[in-house]
Chains A and B, each alone.
Chain A
Amino acid sequence: MRRLAMTSFLFGSCLALLLALVPIAEAQDKPVEVPLTVANQKFDPAEVKVKAGQPFVLVVTNNDPKKAVEVENKDLRIEKVVPAGKTVSIRVRALKPGTYVFVDDFNKSAQVKIVAE
């Protein structure tokens, strides 16, 4: 019983801590939204420019009626599933100038280049 209580306490406090972080993140300047759509295993547009040094939000809309996509960039520690027909916002940290390739982990041939400059 004690163990169960301790476990729930730990999970609870972690959750509380993280939920406390959410408003802090929200309070920062509203990051720029970068819209992207996926359909027929292709990202549209296939290349996006963003400002270097500023966090942004990828707003990915999956227009495929059936297939989920997993937007992934291992280096940026981003792995997010966008189910068929859904739109999901993905926070991306401030990037150094350069080109970052995001792939659909469920179908590696679909890629989008994010160019930070």
Chain B
Amino acid sequence: MGATFVIVLREGFEAALLLGIVYAYLAQIGHADSRRYVTLGATLAVAASVLMGLAVSLLSGPLADVGPDVIALVVIFAAVALLTWHGWWMGRHARELHGDLQRRVDAAHASHQLWMVGLIAFTGVFREGAETVLFLWGLTTQLQDLTGWAALGGAAAGLVAAAILGWLVFQGGRRLSVQRFFGVTSVLIMFLAAGLFSAGVGRLQGIGLLPGGDPLWDTSWLLDDHGGAGSFLAGLIGYRARPSALEVVAYIVYVAGASLVFFPRLLRRGRRGDGVVERPQTSRV
């Protein structure tokens, strides 16, 4: 029972944290009513996970061998592309946030952000979703005796515990100072995308489609990426205790390129040489 509790909690941890942050974010910007988009993204991800779990259980041969890898890679890289495009869109429209235009832009921002929070929710849940489904699936086939039920009970408790952690993050995030929360969201999304990009590169190395893969350094003595704070950072910004050289390069290149896309003002400010303080809205998502 204890073992299944830990396994499900671990698989659900990242997703729950991410959902907690996204819900808190919506509450902060006064769009609590649009939570259903996050819920929709998460629900679709659960459905996709169940489908993938079923497919892996039923199919066999090359489709079952390569299929999950291909789908995971597609989801990761498409999410990176969409998040980057979103950052570009926000950066481009940020400066329009003055005068009469403001209301129209606000409305556009609102719809843009709904779509994006849904995407983040989907990716967060789907990443470990299929594995969890397969694990739970295996448990339900052992229900004929008491240990089977105990195992399932442990798994259910694990899901509940993950949900509670997500809820605590939501409560905490809601109470953060609004200004500070706004200030970091664009940056956070950029690092989230960088982490995803780097993880995608790592997966390509794992199956041998990209060369290399040996760890460049090892910081697991300082912060392990398996549990607690390390796992939180892993889910949020792609922290790795033992990253490969190519993963590090991918991360740095992405952040360097994306900061120009996400914050075009950095460039312009440098050129004009003035120190315009960014308005809080500029980093709205």
Contacts and interface: CB of A to CB of B under 8 A. Distances in A.
A and B co-occur in one complex: yes
Q: How large is the interface on B (under 10, 10 to 19, 20 to 34, 35 or more residues)?
A: 35 or more
B138 A96 contact: no
A84 B138 contact: yes
Give the secondary structure class of A's interface: mixed
Contacts of B81: 10, 14
Contact of B208 (A3, A10, A19, A93): A93
Interface string A14-41: 1100110110110000000000000000
Interface range on chain A (Cβ under 8 Å from partner): 35 or more
Interface stretch (B170-178, B209-217, B273-281): B209-217
B3 interface: yes
B131 interface: yes
Interface stretch (B29-37, B69-77, B186-194): B69-77
A78 interface: yes
Interface string A91-117: 111101000000001110000000000
B163 to A, nearest CB: 21
Interface of B: 3, 7, 56-57, 60, 62, 64-66, 68, 70, 73-74, 77-78, 81-82, 85, 115, 130-131, 134-135, 137-138, 141-142, 202-203, 205-209, 213-215, 225-226, 242
In the A-B complex, list the 5 residue pairs whose CB atoms are closest, starting with the nearest.
A77-B206, A68-B138, A93-B208, A89-B65, A91-B207
